[in-house]
């Protein structure tokens, strides 16, 4: 399957993956696209041909180094931003309420064509692996990006925790994705949600990830009223899928009976 999208935004995350009912790992080629991997449930394509800014956006820099921009995607796509940590400032609009949001981001530029090959490992983890700062990861590929079959591209973890608040892959050339781009099990450790303003439309509305995601999974409970011969363990309940670009809810903890008298309800 070959898909060409003119100036489009794609949200990619773990869970349910769909692009017009086509799974991510079957996409052979997407040209001139912006690919954003966040902790959500579905791929969402925003066709910008009718309701988006068609001219290049510009950024301004405050005295303390903050990058002021129309939106995260437009700032990265249209401007040269150096490697390292930056703060992006967006004046967003949430259902008619204006708010100013600052986002700490880690920017990595790849100027040559890049291939993530299975021979180099089944999982490619992007971003600083040692930092415990909670920030968005942005990787900008100025050329082409190829992901071979069997390779999963994701964000780094530090020990058992993920500190990347989202992963945004911006490909200016051609993407040949035979593998998987995933943020499954990469929710940011101990961090409240926030509105993430991805793209500003020409009517001054925004395509954004809302602060409130899907509900978490219900906890497991039990009482000790009957006797059985084994000590069972139960997996936790799954969280609920996000809607309208919201992230999915976390699962509940599991349960392990320690004595033999119980009834689960």
Model confidence over 196-212: pLDDT tens digits? 999 999 888 898 888 87
Res 232: pLDDT: 52
- Short-list 102, 39, 111, 30, CA closest to 72: 102
pLDDT at 142: 97
Select the more confidently predicted residue: 188 or 78.
Answer: 78
Alpha helices of the chain — where are they, by DSSP H? 72-78
* Whole-structure pTM value: 0.69
Greater confidence (71 vs 22) lies with 71
Min mean pLDDT across 22-26, 57-61, 159-163, 260-264 is at: 22-26
pLDDT at 115 over 80: yes
Q: Which two tokens stand for residue 95?
A: 């259902």
Q: Could you write out the three-class secondary structure of 79-141?
A: CCCCCEEEEEEEEEEECCEEEEEEEEEEEEEECCCEEECHHHCCEEEECCCCCCCCEEEEEEE
* Cα radius of gyration (the chain): 21
Least confident span in 29-38, 209-218, 254-263: 29-38
Q: Does pLDDT of 153 surpass 70?
A: yes
Residue 181 near residue 26, CB atoms below 8 Å: no
pLDDT band for position 95 (cuts 50, 70, 90) = confident
pLDDT higher than 80, residue 79: yes
Confidence of residue 228 (pLDDT cuts 50, 70, 90): very low
Alpha carbon distances (Å) from 24 to 2, 136, 180, 215: 11, 22, 7, 25
Least confident piece of the model among 9-13, 65-69, 156-160, 233-237: 9-13
**Are the C-beta atoms of 40 and 242 separated by less than 8 Å?**
yes
Model pLDDT for residues 123-152, shown as the tens digit of each residue: 999 999 999 999 999 999 999 999 999 999
Highest mean pLDDT among 1-5, 54-58, 152-156: 152-156
Angle at 209 (CA atoms; ends 254, 172), nearest 5 degrees: 115
């Amino acid at each position: 399957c070959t898909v060409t999208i003119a100036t489009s935004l794609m949200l990619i995350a773990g869970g349910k993956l769909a692009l017009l009912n086509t799974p991510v790992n079957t996409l052979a080629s997407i040209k001139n696209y912006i690919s954003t991997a966040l902790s959500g449930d579905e791929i969402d394509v925003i066709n910008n041909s009718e309701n988006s800014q068609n001219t290049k956006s510009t950024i301004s820099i405050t005295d303390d180094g903050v990058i002021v921009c129309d939106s995260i995607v437009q700032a990265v796509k249209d401007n040269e931003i150096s490697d390292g940590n930056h703060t992006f400032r967006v004046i967003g609009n949430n259902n008619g309420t204006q708010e100013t949001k600052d986002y700490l981001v880690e920017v990595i530029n790849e100027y040559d064509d890049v291939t993530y090959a299975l021979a180099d490992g089944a999982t490619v983890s992007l971003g600083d692996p040692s930092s415990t700062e909670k920030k968005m990861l942005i990787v900008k590929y100025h050329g082409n990006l190829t992901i071979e079959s069997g390779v999963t591209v994701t964000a780094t973890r530090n020990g058992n925790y993920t500190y990347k608040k989202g992963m945004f892959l911006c490909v200016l050339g051609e993407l040949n994705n035979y593998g998987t781009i995933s943020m499954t099990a990469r929710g940011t450790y101990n961090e409240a949600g926030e509105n993430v303003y991805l793209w500003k439309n020409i009517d001054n509305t925004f395509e954004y990830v809302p602060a409130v995601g899907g509900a978490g999974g219900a906890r497991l409970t039990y009482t000790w009223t009957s006797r059985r011969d084994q000590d069972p363990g139960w997996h936790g309940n799954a969280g609920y899928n996000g809607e309208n670009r919201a992230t999915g809810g976390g699962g509940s903890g599991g349960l392990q009976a320690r004595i033999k008298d119980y009834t689960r309800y």
